[in-house]
Structure 1
Amino acid sequence: MSASRIAISLFSGAGGLDLGAEQAGYAVAAAVERDHDAAATMEKNFSHLQAPVIQADILDVPTTDILAAAGLSQGQRPDLLIGGPPCTPFSKSGFWLDWKRAGLDPDASLLQAYTRVLAEARPRAFVLENVYALTYNNKASRPAYERLLREIDAAGYDWRAKVMNAADHGVPQARPRLFVIGVPRGERLPEHPDATHGGTWERRASGSVERPHVTAGEALEGLVTDPEPEEQLRGQYAALLADVPPGGNYLHYTEERGHADPLFKWRSRYWSFLLKLDPARPSPTIQAQPGPNVGPFHWDNRRLRVAEAKRLFTYPDSFEFVGTRASVQAQLGNSVPPLLARQVIQQITDAAS
């Protein structure tokens, strides 16, 4: 193996965190991902894997199997543990469901799968990523978050937690995520990276004044793509997109915005309904499973093509995804932008040097 620092990956998805780890000097030697397409994407793009991706439910995978897949013998510790447990129970977009608000989603236990591997594998550092709604003070999120932090402490690790907006770190997408980083108790605890870019996010200043956010127009400039069969909107609202201005959404068709023939009530839909990219701003958050009229859509009045979505997540153009268009959308929408992951993990690399 060419890299000296060994990482193991849980809930790997398509490998956004993993790509950032490799760019920061780690070799991802083992990965656990139960989705077949995402696992195939990992195997296609990561050369340091010592064995095929473990395609199984993490709850059924012993830590010893993960370490063995990484080529680590008994008593050897990985240098880094990374992973983003599925965010279904805590995602802000799902709080309209009573059972989510009550904290009854069984996927919440996947946080405990991460801390179980943390306690048993004893990595020299870890990064856990999740939706920032995990930090909300409600019945679904707060008990789970506090339990997570208690278990990290019980495993013998010091930690820092911070919500970071990807756009503040050079990613052409406004994507707030929670990053918990840590090291064994008593060792030098890294800081989260400082913002490198800044601008307006949710009507307030965000990030650094040194450089403006990277815009969607800048990210997609010069990219030549072929049309995709799934890119055209269909259904009763499809024709409405053409008149929505860049950066606008369904509110264009409201009385409050001065529309002559209002079609929607103010704030009657999700903000992402008929949402269109503005080439002069970062992309809004790209979702894993958007509805048929949920954006962001391209300013050319169509869905984003795969190559365009990759640019907005900072995946290399050469990165290959496996699966149907819906599967690739899910893999992208569930992933961590590699550029952001690299900056977070680079802090760990530098602290260990």
Structure 2
Amino acid sequence: MSISNKEITYLDLFAGAGGLSEGFFGAGYKPIAHVEMNRDACNTLKTRESFYYLNSVGEKYKYTDYLKEKISRKELYDLVPKSILQSVICETMSDETMPVIFKRIDEAMETRGTDHIDLILGGPPCQAYSMVGRSRKNMDGDPRNTLYKLYFQAIEKYTPAMFVFENVPGLLTAGNGTYLKAILAGFRERGYELEYHILNASDYGVLQNRKRIILIGWRKDSKHKYPQLTKTKDQYTVSELFYDLPELKPGEQKYFYSHTLKNGYLLKTGIRKKSDVLTWHVARTNLERDRDIYRLAIKSWKKNHSRLKYTEIPKELATHSNRTSFLDRFKVVADDLPAAHTLVAHISKDGHYYIHPDLKQARSISVREAARIQSFPDDFYFEGSRTAVFIQIGNAVPPLLAKNIAEALKVQFEGE
């Protein structure tokens, strides 16, 4: 059956703040439902669904009113059909809750006017497979290790033509490879062929080195396959992400851009549009002692392109006695490189590993700067506290990477 004149539907599992979904929606796919356990992330998804809806009916200005704090979140949600907001299913996925979740998904399908799901997106929380997670605790008995089995249940129920399963590279070696082996076998037992590759987001328009396993499966009776992704040839530097954002002092927030939009990375990718309202350009407070260390780190990078080691910090500024490991506790987001180092959820704990490159500011990066590193557009509003938002951003799939995958898969769907 050809779906060239029909929207491609998808279900988003373990949705987080919706990085994967943002990319697929931007490529023209139709979301049916999102399943996520975190309350703040669910509100972020609802707010984004509100944006999609109001934009579709020509009332984007009402969303802009929300960003400008002219209306409350409740007033924003009152403008949107309840069925759309209810398609964000805020539940912890487990054997006990899956029947309820499936019922909610079925209701969302009926409301959205479809009897099938073409594609399932998502990857279970990655902490259990991460190298850092393994170094901190024994993986045995961690329930996150087997969340992929819940993904299997969704595959069995909705039999999508394809699925996109995302996770950290540590999955390859977790449990000496037993988890990956079980995941691959489980999908094949359910009638799917599959292939996986480690993709670096920096190859697909994201100004960040971020490697992820992208496992894609397709029904054995289909003509689908792992898509050929085209790597970007554009040459930009991280400075493009920061040039129009006003200077901040630690703890400060600003609401207006410092420069008008020029023809460059932000405009080409759509990360910033001329009508955007600046939100979340807020920096955490930093101790003056830490700012002194930040200045040393910035000077070291600017002068020698070298990273400051903890052993190089003057004793009066050092607070840790351990000077033999974790020597790269402080790291500058280098604005003269084509890609920043990987942004992770630990940024919610402190900003030492994500220092703004401007010596005058000597602070950790703002929430909006972190979102831009992840390629979220400026009209994407995150709900929750600053800490909660940093976690959402750090755990997300970069939307630009997701959009590249979505566009490559769309060619296959439209050619069915």
Query: What's the TM-score, normalizing by structure 2?
Result: 0.72
Provide the residue aligned with 2:326 in structure 1: 269
Pairing partner for 2:245 from 190, 208, 223: 223
Provide the residue aligned with 1:91 in structure 2: 130
Shift in alpha-carbon separation, 1:22–1:294, aligned structure 2, 3 A: same
- The count of corresponding residues between Structure 1 and Structure 2 is 331
- How much does 1:123 deviate? 1.0
1:240 equivalenced with 2:293 (yes/no):
yes
Provide the residue aligned with 2:353 in structure 1: 295
Provide the residue aligned with 1:131 in structure 2: 168
- Aligned residues of 2:229 and 2:408 also touching (Cα < 8 A): no
Query: Could you say what the CA RMSD is over the residues aligned between the two structures, in angstroms?
Result: 2.9
Pairing partner for 2:200 from 140, 165, 187: 165
Q: Which runs of 5+ in 1 are unaligned?
A: 198-209
- Aligned residues of 2:352 and 2:364 also touching (Cα < 8 A): no
Q: After TM superposition, list the pairs within 5 Å mapping 1:76-87 onto structure 2.
A: 76-87=115-126
Shift in alpha-carbon separation, 1:69–1:336, aligned structure 2, 3 A: farther
Pairing partner for 1:118 from 128, 145, 155: 155
- How much does 1:248 deviate? 5.0
Match of 2:196, SS state, is strand
- Aligned residues of 2:11 and 2:33 also touching (Cα < 8 A): yes
Pairing partner for 2:341 from 284, 303, 306: 284
Shift in alpha-carbon separation, 1:284–1:238, aligned structure 2, 3 A: same
Provide the residue aligned with 1:207 in structure 2: none
- How much does 1:67 deviate? 3.1
Per mean C-alpha deviation after superposition, the further-off stretch among 229-238 and 78-87 is: 229-238
Q: After TM superposition, list the pairs within 5 Å mapping 1:313-328 onto structure 2.
A: 313-328=374-389
Pairing partner for 1:44 from 44, 47, 50: 47
Pairing partner for 1:22 from 25, 38, 50: 25
Provide the residue aligned with 1:107 in structure 2: 144
Letter in 1 for 2:160: P
> Percent of aligned pairs with the same residue?
25
Q: Which runs of 5+ in 2 are unaligned?
A: 54-82, 254-281
1:31 equivalenced with 2:34 (yes/no):
yes
Match of 1:127, SS state, is strand
Match of 2:167, SS state, is strand
- How much does 1:8 deviate? 0.9
Larger relative contact order, structure 1 or 2 (CA cutoff 8 Å, min sep 6): 2
- Aligned residues of 1:254 and 1:262 also touching (Cα < 8 A): no
Match of 1:70, SS state, is helix
- Aligned residues of 2:10 and 2:118 also touching (Cα < 8 A): yes
Distance 1:337 1:225 in 2: 25
Quick check: which one's helix share is greater?
2
Query: What's the TM-score, normalizing by structure 1?
Result: 0.84
Match of 2:165, SS state, is strand
- Aligned residues of 1:30 and 1:51 also touching (Cα < 8 A): no
Letter in 1 for 2:118: D
Distance 2:327 2:30 in 1: 40
Match of 1:231, SS state, is coil
Quick check: which one's strand share is greater?
1
Per mean C-alpha deviation after superposition, the further-off stretch among 233-242 and 81-90 is: 233-242
Distance 2:26 2:323 in 1: 45
Distance 2:386 2:315 in 1: 37
1:332 equivalenced with 2:335 (yes/no):
no
- How much does 1:254 deviate? 3.5
Match of 2:10, SS state, is strand
Distance 2:316 2:102 in 1: 64
Distance 2:114 2:21 in 1: 24
Distance 1:284 1:335 in 2: 15
Match of 1:289, SS state, is helix
